Amino acid sequence: MSFEAADRLFDAAIPSAIAMQERAGIDYVSDGEWRRESYIKVISEHVEGFQVNAMPSVSGSVSDPAVVAPIRKRDDLATSAAKYLLSHTTRRAIVTLPSPYILGWRMWKADISSGAYATRAEFMVACAAILRNEVENLVSAGVDHIQIDEPWLLLLVDPEHRERVGITSIDDEIETCVGMINEVLATAGTTPTSVHMCHAHFARKRYADGGYEPIIDAFAEINVDRFAMEFTAPESHGVDVLKRFPANKTLGLGVIDQIDRNIETPQLVIERVEEALKHVPVDRLTLNPDCGFSPSAQNPMDIDEAYLKLGAMSAAAEELRRRHE
């Protein structure tokens, strides 16, 4: 199927994803990310220089593209999709992009990529330039919020992950990741921005384990307004780490477990929020699921389940606003 034919089908389907979020009471809606195969593959779908199915993904169940030639943007990554979203909702719109850091780790492989980019870091820099331009275009399109997805920042806390991928210095990796995010968001201007972190998930399983303690002090160095953080997951090891959360940042508290098929009640969500409020004031706290619900071959999500979970989160938010106004 051609990209043009696929876009026609997505144009017909995406309004239902938008409407579902609106009915669930979500303040910031997306297009469901239905136009992309995955949150990282969006770059290989719109940028030349990649070989598809060139290397195993971290899950081992699918293959990732790998860079094999100097990259050049063929068309926009998310701006056209964002304009379509904006034309189909009166709610505020959020659009996501992958971080150059995770692209470097997921899409650069020495034996097939070094001819194009001698090092992983060089490839990250090339990705950052494309993503920075995309951020600028999203701002011009009028997007209300831009989120950078960076699960690998949290994966760094897991010693088993570091051993699997050959990371020897967590401090060097944190510095690189922070620099890449700041480079991408340099063109965001006054548009609000977020960074999303999680333990990576597929097939209703999480890939890594570990709390935020080794990375949370670096948050102050990231030029972003909000951190969307996975906390419902037991792998996050509780919210006590939030006592070190930067005073000038907003917390996007993960209160919904997108892996668990059980539907949270609004009361359960409220209890999770009240625990976090011991460390972060209410005026710097927003609610979100631990991660996304977008269905794929790796994540057999149920749309009705997602709707009910989002509805419970929205109902909890309304009650919390009433209590804390």
Exposure letters 97-106 (e unless 16+ CB within 10 A, then b): bbbbbbbbbb
- Asked if 78 and 138 count as a contact pair (C-beta separation under 8 A), the reply is yes
Q: Place 57 in a pLDDT band, splitting at 50, 70 and 90.
A: low
Q: Place 4 in a pLDDT band, splitting at 50, 70 and 90.
A: confident
For the stretch 32-55, pLDDT in tens is 988 888 888 899 999 999 998 777
For the stretch 250-296, pLDDT in tens is 999 999 999 999 999 999 999 999 999 999 999 999 999 999 887 56
Count of the separate structural domains present in the chain: 1
pLDDT of residue 231: 98
Which one, of 311, 273, 309, lies nearest residue 291 by Cα?
Answer: 309
The predicted model gives 92-111 an average pLDDT of 97
> What is the CATH number for 183?
3.20.20.210
Cβ-Cβ contacts under 8 Å for 201 (sequence gap 6 or more): 207, 258, 259, 291, 299
CA distance 325 to 320: 8
User: Residue 297: is its pLDDT beyond 60?
Assistant: no
For the stretch 60-94, pLDDT in tens is 556 789 999 999 999 999 999 999 999 999 999 99
The predicted model gives 109-114 an average pLDDT of 95
Which one, of 208, 217, 149, lies nearest residue 180 by Cα?
Answer: 149
Share of the chain above pLDDT 90, in %: 84
Report DSSP letters for 89-137, one per residue.
-SSEEEEEEE-HHHHHHHH--HHHHTTT-SSHHHHHHHHHHHHHHHHHH
Task: Report the phi/psi class of residue 237: left, alpha or beta, with left for phi > 0 and alpha for psi in -120 to 50.
Answer: left
Share of the chain above pLDDT 70, in %: 96
Compare 5 and 195 and report the one with higher pLDDT: 195
198: amino acid identity, one letter = C
User: Residue 212: is its pLDDT beyond 80?
Assistant: yes
- Asked if 258 and 282 count as a contact pair (C-beta separation under 8 A), the reply is no
What range does the domain containing 293 cover? Answer: 3-324
Instruction: Return the minimum-mean-pLDDT range out of 22-36, 53-67, 221-235.
Output: 53-67
Torsion on CA atoms 78, 84, 88, 89, rounded to nearest 10: 30
User: Residue 243: is its pLDDT beyond 80?
Assistant: yes
Q: Place 168 in a pLDDT band, splitting at 50, 70 and 90.
A: very high
pLDDT of residue 59: 55
The predicted model gives 158-166 an average pLDDT of 94
CA distance 46 to 320: 41
